Amino acid sequence: MDVNADYILIKALENGVTIIGLTRGKDTKFNHTEKLDKGEILAAQFTENVSAMKIRGKAEIMSKHGKVNSEG
């Protein structure tokens, strides 16, 4: 894994925000789950195994492409 690869920041805007990493391949599966409380930040990278992330709850997602808020 390239530690200098692009990453995203996820900031919880409420308690209990869930981030789910989804795998690549023929069958998409849950790879990893994190739960954040209000104000906590998670820095995450896509890898050979993780190709998508699902975010449940109100959060601010920041990347080199800009910023977006999830609505819960």
Does some domain include residue 36? yes
Tokens matching residue 53? 């992330």
pLDDT for 3: 61
pLDDT for 2: 63
| pLDDT tens readout for residues 23-36 | 777 776 667 889 99
Among the listed residues 18, 13, 8, the one whose alpha carbon sits nearest the alpha carbon of residue 61: 8
pTM for the whole structure: 0.81
Q: How many domains does the chain have?
A: 1
pLDDT for 30: 65
Q: How do 50-56 and 17-23 pair as beta strands?
A: antiparallel
Full domain range(s) for residue 19? 8-67
Q: Residue 28 in 3-state DSSP?
A: coil
Does some domain include residue 22? yes
Q: In what order do the strands lie in the sheet with 50-56?
A: 30-36, 17-23, 50-56
pLDDT < 70 stretches in the chain: 1-4, 28-30
The distance of Cα 54 from the centroid of its chain, to the nearest Å, equals: 7
